[in-house]
Amino acid sequence: MSQVRRIWVTEIHNVGGFFAGETITLSATPWPDGEELMVTIDEKALDNIRARHLILPEMLLELELSGERVDRARLLASRDRAALNEALRDTPPAQLDAPRIRAYRCPHCDVWVVGSPLQEQGARACALCRQVLD
């Protein structure tokens, strides 16, 4: 049984190299709140993230866990837009003609959120907190 958990990265401890393997070890708190925990993520588990060293503090990740093991890590949001753009996998150039919202800012969450906002009764709402934007 896999379990989905959202975590807010607070500190990067180690970006594993030759000896430690292709992993990143970090501290994070459950989103929106909870006790700080330590997580190790394998490079192979990265979903929409280009490389593990681009994961930084103040990023929101969604993890799929099998027990303690992270099967999949997806970047959901970041406080810093430049860091978010840098970490996200590049969109293939063929798709550049079709403009697509890559991220939007939610003032309630105080982060840049990956993807497009929800459309709810004609209003744009944040996919994380469901508050109306604008």
CB 84 within 8 A of CB 77: yes
129 part of the interface to Zn ion, by CB under 5 A: yes
By CB under 5 A, residue 60 contacts Zn ion: no
Whether the CA torsion 61, 77, 85, 15 is positive or negative: it is negative
Q: Using CB under 5 A, which of 2, 108, 120, 123 touches Zn ion?
A: 108
- Which of 60, 70 has the CB closer to Zn ion? 60
One of 106, 114, 117, 125 touching Zn ion (CB under 5 A) = 106
Is 125 near Zn ion (CB under 5 A)?
A: no
From the list 107, 68, 109, 77, the residue with the least C-alpha distance to 7 is: 77
Is the CB of 7 or the CB of 106 nearer to Zn ion? 106
Q: Which residue's C-beta sits nearest to Zn ion? A: 126
Q: Which of 109, 112, 114, 125 binds Zn ion (CB under 5 A)?
A: 109
Distance of CA 127 to the CA centre of its chain: 13
Q: By CB under 5 A, tell whether 49 contacts Zn ion.
A: no
Residue closest to 48 by CA, chosen among 101, 91, 105, 110: 91
Q: Across the chain, which distance is largest between two alpha carbons, in Å?
A: 53
Which chain residues interact with Zn ion by CB under 5 A?
106, 108-109, 126, 128-129
